[in-house]
Amino acid sequence: MTLRPFAVLVVTVLAGCQATDADDPAGATSAAVDEQRFPDVLEATVECEGTNCDLEVTISSPYDTPARYADGWRVLTTDGTELGVHDLAHDHAGEQPFTRTQRDLEIPSHVEVVVVEARDLEHGYGGGTVTVTLPDR
């Protein structure tokens, strides 16, 4: 009998802790926090002949309208220097995730690691990136 008031108190406290749009000045809800805003690079592989490299990149895009889709990626050094950009000409709404290839990207011989980052039409670059160690060249 003595536990019942305590149990009611716990339920009340927990219910009071649940965030709502009115409680959150930024307007974020748990659904908005979980929403994928940027496309994510899931995987990237690189094959090189000298400084001439081909990349195979797999992207997961939060496509929801023709005005918002993953429209490309860029290849960066670990210090942020852009080595190349690959543009995608159309959406991949019916193919998620999707894989595409970038051929003949010139990567200087001193670069040992690259980072691949995707972008979409609405939000630009962001999301999950993949870091790839280049094969011996």
Can you tell me the distance from the alpha carbon of 67 to that of 98, in angstroms, rounded to the nearest whole number? 18
Predicted TM-score (pTM) of the model is 0.72
- Written as one string, the DSSP assignment of 16-43 is HH---TTT-TT---HHHHHS--S-EEEE
DSSP states of 51-106 as a string?
TEEEEEEEEE----BTTB-EEEEEEEETT--EEEEEE--S--TTSSSEEEEEEEEE
The residues pairing with 116 across neighbouring beta strands, listed in sequence order, are: 75, 130
pLDDT in tens, 15-30: 333 333 344 334 333 3
Residue numbers in the chain where pLDDT is lower than 50? 1-33
Q: So what's the pLDDT on residue 90?
A: 73
Mean pLDDT of the chain: 78
Tokens of 135: 């094969």
**77-101, pLDDT tens digit by residue?**
999 999 999 999 877 667 789 999 9
Q: For residues 64 and 20, give the distance between their C-alpha atoms in angstroms, rounded to a whole number.
A: 25
